[in-house]
Amino acid sequence: MPPRAEQAPAPGTRLGSHYDQCFGCGPQHPQGLRLDAVAGEGLTVDAEFTVEAHHQGGPGLAHGGILTAAMDEALGTLNWLLHTPAVTGRLETDFVRPVPVDTVLHIRARVTGMHGRKIYSAAEGRIGGPDGPLAIRAQALFIQVKLEHFTTHGRPEDIKKAMDDRDLFERARAFEVNP
Protein backbone atom coordinates (compact mmCIF):
# COMPACT_ATOMS: atom_id res chain seq x y z
CA MET A 1 0.00 0.00 0.00
CA PRO A 2 1.27 3.50 -0.77
CA PRO A 3 1.35 6.09 2.04
CA ARG A 4 -1.23 8.89 2.35
CA ALA A 5 0.65 11.89 0.92
CA GLU A 6 1.78 14.55 3.38
CA GLN A 7 0.01 17.15 1.23
CA ALA A 8 -3.23 15.14 1.14
CA PRO A 9 -6.32 17.07 2.27
CA ALA A 10 -7.29 16.20 5.86
CA PRO A 11 -10.12 13.70 6.38
CA GLY A 12 -13.44 15.52 6.10
CA THR A 13 -12.15 18.02 3.52
CA ARG A 14 -14.42 18.57 0.53
CA LEU A 15 -12.22 17.81 -2.48
CA GLY A 16 -13.84 20.14 -4.98
CA SER A 17 -13.39 19.89 -8.71
CA HIS A 18 -10.01 19.22 -10.35
CA TYR A 19 -11.25 20.95 -13.53
CA ASP A 20 -14.42 23.02 -13.88
CA GLN A 21 -15.32 21.46 -17.26
CA CYS A 22 -14.90 17.86 -16.07
CA PHE A 23 -17.95 15.73 -16.91
CA GLY A 24 -17.59 13.97 -13.56
CA CYS A 25 -17.06 16.84 -11.14
CA GLY A 26 -16.95 20.17 -12.99
CA PRO A 27 -19.39 22.80 -11.71
CA GLN A 28 -19.38 24.52 -15.13
CA HIS A 29 -20.22 21.38 -17.12
CA PRO A 30 -23.85 21.82 -18.23
CA GLN A 31 -24.74 18.09 -18.27
CA GLY A 32 -22.08 16.82 -15.86
CA LEU A 33 -22.46 14.52 -12.88
CA ARG A 34 -21.29 17.13 -10.32
CA LEU A 35 -19.88 14.44 -8.09
CA ASP A 36 -19.31 15.74 -4.58
CA ALA A 37 -16.33 14.04 -2.89
CA VAL A 38 -14.91 14.28 0.63
CA ALA A 39 -11.54 12.93 1.79
CA GLY A 40 -11.89 10.03 4.22
CA GLU A 41 -9.48 8.43 6.67
CA GLY A 42 -6.42 6.75 5.19
CA LEU A 43 -6.71 6.25 1.45
CA THR A 44 -10.49 6.52 1.18
CA VAL A 45 -12.92 8.97 -0.36
CA ASP A 46 -16.68 9.32 0.17
CA ALA A 47 -18.63 10.75 -2.75
CA GLU A 48 -22.24 11.40 -3.69
CA PHE A 49 -23.85 11.47 -7.09
CA THR A 50 -27.50 12.41 -7.53
CA VAL A 51 -29.15 10.67 -10.50
CA GLU A 52 -31.15 13.17 -12.55
CA ALA A 53 -33.65 12.74 -15.37
CA HIS A 54 -30.99 13.37 -18.05
CA HIS A 55 -28.98 10.40 -16.70
CA GLN A 56 -31.67 7.86 -17.64
CA GLY A 57 -31.06 4.63 -19.55
CA GLY A 58 -34.24 2.62 -18.96
CA PRO A 59 -37.33 4.65 -18.03
CA GLY A 60 -36.76 6.18 -14.60
CA LEU A 61 -33.45 4.37 -14.14
CA ALA A 62 -29.85 5.50 -14.32
CA HIS A 63 -27.86 4.53 -17.43
CA GLY A 64 -25.09 2.03 -16.66
CA GLY A 65 -22.45 4.08 -18.47
CA ILE A 66 -23.33 7.12 -16.39
CA LEU A 67 -23.03 5.09 -13.18
CA THR A 68 -19.66 3.79 -14.39
CA ALA A 69 -18.57 7.37 -15.04
CA ALA A 70 -19.53 8.30 -11.48
CA MET A 71 -17.48 5.37 -10.14
CA ASP A 72 -14.54 6.35 -12.40
CA GLU A 73 -14.65 9.90 -11.07
CA ALA A 74 -14.89 8.81 -7.43
CA LEU A 75 -11.95 6.44 -7.91
CA GLY A 76 -10.04 9.25 -9.66
CA THR A 77 -10.40 11.53 -6.64
CA LEU A 78 -8.14 9.11 -4.73
CA ASN A 79 -5.34 10.83 -6.68
CA TRP A 80 -5.71 13.78 -4.29
CA LEU A 81 -4.70 11.54 -1.39
CA LEU A 82 -1.69 10.13 -3.22
CA HIS A 83 -0.89 13.59 -4.62
CA THR A 84 -0.12 12.31 -8.07
CA PRO A 85 -1.77 12.62 -11.48
CA ALA A 86 -3.06 9.28 -12.76
CA VAL A 87 -5.53 8.19 -15.42
CA THR A 88 -7.85 5.21 -15.66
CA GLY A 89 -6.22 2.31 -17.48
CA ARG A 90 -8.84 -0.30 -16.63
CA LEU A 91 -12.23 -0.16 -14.95
CA GLU A 92 -14.55 -3.07 -14.19
CA THR A 93 -18.09 -2.51 -12.93
CA ASP A 94 -20.69 -4.87 -11.45
CA PHE A 95 -24.25 -3.55 -11.55
CA VAL A 96 -25.92 -5.19 -8.57
CA ARG A 97 -29.26 -3.39 -8.43
CA PRO A 98 -31.00 -0.71 -10.51
CA VAL A 99 -30.60 2.91 -9.46
CA PRO A 100 -33.73 5.06 -9.93
CA VAL A 101 -33.77 8.71 -10.98
CA ASP A 102 -33.65 11.11 -7.98
CA THR A 103 -31.58 8.59 -6.01
CA VAL A 104 -28.36 9.64 -4.31
CA LEU A 105 -25.62 7.12 -5.00
CA HIS A 106 -23.26 7.01 -2.00
CA ILE A 107 -19.83 5.93 -3.19
CA ARG A 108 -16.93 4.88 -1.01
CA ALA A 109 -13.64 4.47 -2.90
CA ARG A 110 -10.34 3.18 -1.56
CA VAL A 111 -6.83 2.49 -2.76
CA THR A 112 -6.09 -1.22 -2.53
CA GLY A 113 -2.45 -1.26 -3.62
CA MET A 114 0.31 0.19 -5.74
CA HIS A 115 3.05 -1.31 -7.88
CA GLY A 116 5.38 1.00 -9.79
CA ARG A 117 3.10 3.44 -11.67
CA LYS A 118 0.06 1.19 -11.20
CA ILE A 119 -2.51 2.23 -8.60
CA TYR A 120 -5.16 -0.36 -7.73
CA SER A 121 -8.47 0.79 -6.27
CA ALA A 122 -12.02 -0.33 -5.59
CA ALA A 123 -15.34 1.31 -4.82
CA GLU A 124 -18.88 0.49 -3.75
CA GLY A 125 -21.97 2.52 -4.56
CA ARG A 126 -24.95 2.26 -2.17
CA ILE A 127 -28.44 3.70 -2.29
CA GLY A 128 -30.71 4.94 0.50
CA GLY A 129 -27.71 6.04 2.59
CA PRO A 130 -23.98 5.36 2.95
CA ASP A 131 -24.77 1.99 4.58
CA GLY A 132 -27.76 1.20 2.35
CA PRO A 133 -28.09 -1.66 -0.14
CA LEU A 134 -25.20 -2.21 -2.53
CA ALA A 135 -26.01 -1.06 -6.08
CA ILE A 136 -22.60 -0.98 -7.81
CA ARG A 137 -19.13 -2.36 -7.31
CA ALA A 138 -16.08 -1.25 -9.28
CA GLN A 139 -12.42 -2.13 -9.47
CA ALA A 140 -9.90 0.01 -11.24
CA LEU A 141 -6.31 0.28 -12.32
CA PHE A 142 -5.05 3.84 -12.61
CA ILE A 143 -1.66 4.58 -14.16
CA GLN A 144 0.46 7.46 -12.92
CA VAL A 145 1.25 9.94 -15.67
CA LYS A 146 3.22 13.15 -16.00
CA LEU A 147 1.38 16.40 -16.67
CA GLU A 148 2.58 16.13 -20.30
CA HIS A 149 -0.02 13.38 -20.71
CA PHE A 150 -2.64 16.16 -20.68
CA THR A 151 -0.68 18.92 -22.41
CA THR A 152 0.40 16.58 -25.23
CA HIS A 153 -2.93 14.91 -25.93
CA GLY A 154 -5.55 17.49 -24.94
CA ARG A 155 -7.22 19.88 -27.41
CA PRO A 156 -4.91 22.94 -27.47
CA GLU A 157 -7.58 25.57 -26.76
CA ASP A 158 -8.76 23.66 -23.68
CA ILE A 159 -5.19 23.21 -22.43
CA LYS A 160 -4.55 26.92 -22.88
CA LYS A 161 -7.73 27.84 -21.02
CA ALA A 162 -6.81 25.48 -18.18
CA MET A 163 -3.28 26.91 -17.99
CA ASP A 164 -4.70 30.45 -17.89
CA ASP A 165 -6.66 29.46 -14.78
CA ARG A 166 -4.17 30.45 -12.06
CA ASP A 167 -5.66 28.20 -9.38
CA LEU A 168 -5.72 25.13 -11.60
CA PHE A 169 -2.19 25.82 -12.86
CA GLU A 170 -0.79 26.11 -9.34
CA ARG A 171 -2.50 22.89 -8.26
CA ALA A 172 -1.19 21.07 -11.33
CA ARG A 173 2.32 22.37 -10.70
CA ALA A 174 2.26 21.27 -7.07
CA PHE A 175 1.32 17.79 -8.29
CA GLU A 176 4.24 17.77 -10.70
CA VAL A 177 6.83 19.11 -8.25
CA ASN A 178 5.76 16.64 -5.54
CA PRO A 179 4.83 13.48 -7.43
Ligand X SMILES: CCCCCCCCCC(=O)SCCNC(=O)CCNC(=O)[C@H](O)C(C)(C)COP(=O)(O)OP(=O)(O)OC[C@H]1O[C@@H](n2cnc3c(N)ncnc32)[C@H](O)[C@@H]1OP(=O)(O)O
Question: What are the residues binding ligand X (CB under 6 A)?
Answer: 18, 24, 72-73, 76-77, 79-80, 87-90, 116-118, 141, 143, 145
- How many Å separate Cα 73 from the centre of its chain? 2
Quote the least distance from Cβ 60 to ligand X, whole Å. 27
Of 42, 105, 95, 116, which Cα lies nearest the Cα of 74? 105
Choice between 63 and 118, CB closer to ligand X: 118
Quote the least distance from Cβ 4 to ligand X, whole Å. 14
Of 144, 142, 143, 147, which Cα lies nearest the Cα of 173? 147
Q: How far is CA 125 from CA 20, 120, 129, 152, in A?
A: 24, 17, 10, 34
Choice between 102 and 152, CB closer to ligand X: 152
Quote the least distance from Cβ 155 to ligand X, whole Å. 13
Choice between 45 and 99, CB closer to ligand X: 45
Dihedrals phi, psi of 12, to nearest 5 degrees: 95, -10
Q: Cβ(126)–Cβ(137) under 8 Å? A: no
Choice between 83 and 137, CB closer to ligand X: 83
Quote the least distance from Cβ 76 to ligand X, whole Å. 2
End-to-end CA distance of the chain: 16
Q: Which position's Cβ is nearest ligand X? A: 76
Quote the least distance from Cβ 99 to ligand X, whole Å. 20
Choice between 77 and 121, CB closer to ligand X: 77
Q: Please report which helix (H) or strand (E) contains residue 124, including its range.
A: strand 118-127
